[in-house]
Amino acid sequence: MKDLWLVIFVAVDRSMIEWTLGVDIVRIYGKLEARTGALTISVLRAVALPADLSGAVTDGPFSFLIKDQLQREIEGFMYLLYLDESGSVADADQRHFVLAGLSVFERSTHWIEQELNQIALRFAPDPNCPYDVELHASPMRNGRSGWRSHSVPSRLQAIRDGLEVVRRHHPRDVRLFAAALNKQNFSGQDIAHEAFTQVCSRFDLFLMRLYQGKGDKQRGMIIFDKSNTEARIQALARDFKYSGHQYGMIRNYAEVPAFLDSKASRLIQLADLVAFAVFRHYEHNDSQFFEIIEKCFDSDGGVVHGLYHR
């Protein structure tokens, strides 16, 4: 196949993506590769070039209009929703329970992780190993889990800097979703069920909106931190997938939620920072962190869909 495919592959630099025409597409052991001259490149995706565009493509860069028209095909991957909790369902001294996190376009996770690593390196014993440091907001604020040796201002600034990563990547790559529930309003009800229903349904509507408004066919997947509610969330996810929830059916998820140890994922750690910021805002009227991200919740036409508080 030659001159018939738009070949998309991850670029070496931060330009994120490159495309080219006129290369041979070959399959080697089932893996798609592009060969141009002596260079062989692993292909991220190959898209059939529409006939009405084929005559407009030259050997040089695509025009802006062609890039815009092909963007929906280029971005046909998945959104990952990283979620964490803040507050406790069972703690009677806490008024709120929060389930919150961030939706990330999968191709952006690497770059966000690198930015968070730079924050962690400021506190790492080994300047070459940022993964020795976990970014968890409560220990950072209170000086637990090894954070006490660092000054309070530096710890609080690290939380702010982590949330600034969200703001820099919003709205193209990151959107926030959160349910902040005042437990007094849900007496006798399953708080975890309600929080998960709110976040799950709102993320699904976001994906549906992408498809209906732009023709983007992205699927979604939720990734949780391992927690005390893991078994409950797994059961709810199965029910939602096959039986729906009080607001309708789930239609845009690729799979039931996955659970990761936060040590293995910077994005789960960032979800922790987001959940912490939302919890502090509603539980303690402390908005110093929330104000950084308050405009990053999913919205459309001036209506905020990504934040639920009751």
Query: How far, CA to CA in Å, does 95 sit from each of 40, 190, 293?
Result: 58, 15, 22
Lowest mean pLDDT among 106-110, 254-258, 263-267, 292-296: 254-258
User: Does 282 share its domain with 224?
Assistant: yes
Local structure of 48: helix, strand or coil? strand
Q: How many domains are contained in the chain?
A: 2
Confidence of residue 188 (pLDDT cuts 50, 70, 90): confident
The label of the residue with tokens 């007094």 reads: 184
Asked if 101 and 165 sit in the same domain, the reply is: yes
| Closest by CA position to 272, among listed 162, 137, 93 | 137
The alpha carbon of residue 295 and the mean position of all alpha carbons in its chain are separated, in whole angstroms, by 16
> Which percentage of the chain shows pLDDT scores above 70?
64
The last residue of one of the domains, among 13, 45, 74, is 74
pLDDT tens digit sequence for 207-238:
888 877 665 566 788 888 776 566 666 677 66
Quote the domain boundaries for residue 100: 78-309
- Do 140 and 253 lie in one domain? The reply is yes
Q: Are 209 and 101 within one domain?
A: yes
C-alpha 265 chain-centroid distance: 12
If one compares 21 and 290, the residue with the highest pLDDT of the two is 290
- 285 and 149 both lie in a single domain: yes
Q: How high is the mean pLDDT of the chain?
A: 75
Higher pLDDT, 48 or 199: 199
Residue closest to 42 by CA, chosen among 29, 61, 57: 29
Per DSSP, the three-state class of 300 is: strand
- Examine the domain organization and report whether 57 and 120 are in the same domain: no
Range in 25-29, 95-99, 243-247 the model is least confident about:
25-29
Average pLDDT over residues 119-138: 93
Question: Token pair 């009080």 is at which residue?
Answer: 246
* 216 and 95 together in one domain: yes
Q: Are residues 26 and 168 both part of a single domain?
A: no
Cβ atoms of 204 and 250 within 8 Å: the answer is yes
Residue with tokens 């729906």: 244
How far out from the chain centre does Cα 228 lie? 22
Is 186 found in the same domain as 111? yes
Most confident of 42-46, 188-192, 279-283: 279-283
| 121 in the same domain as 158 | yes
Domain C-terminal end among 33, 49, 74: 74
Q: Do both 176 and 304 map to the same domain? A: yes
Tens of pLDDT, residues 27-48: 333 334 444 444 444 444 444 4
Cβ-contact 1, 42 below 8 angstroms: no
Higher pLDDT: 234 or 143? It is: 143
CATH code, domain with 181: 3.30.420
Q: Is the same domain home to 303 and 210?
A: yes
Q: Give mean pLDDT, residues 81-88.
A: 92
**Quick count: other Cβ atoms within 10 Å of Cβ 152?**
13
- Per-residue confidence band for 107, with pLDDT thresholds at 50, 70 and 90: confident
- In single-letter form, the type of residue at position 116 comes to L
Tell which of 35, 58, 74 closes a domain: 74
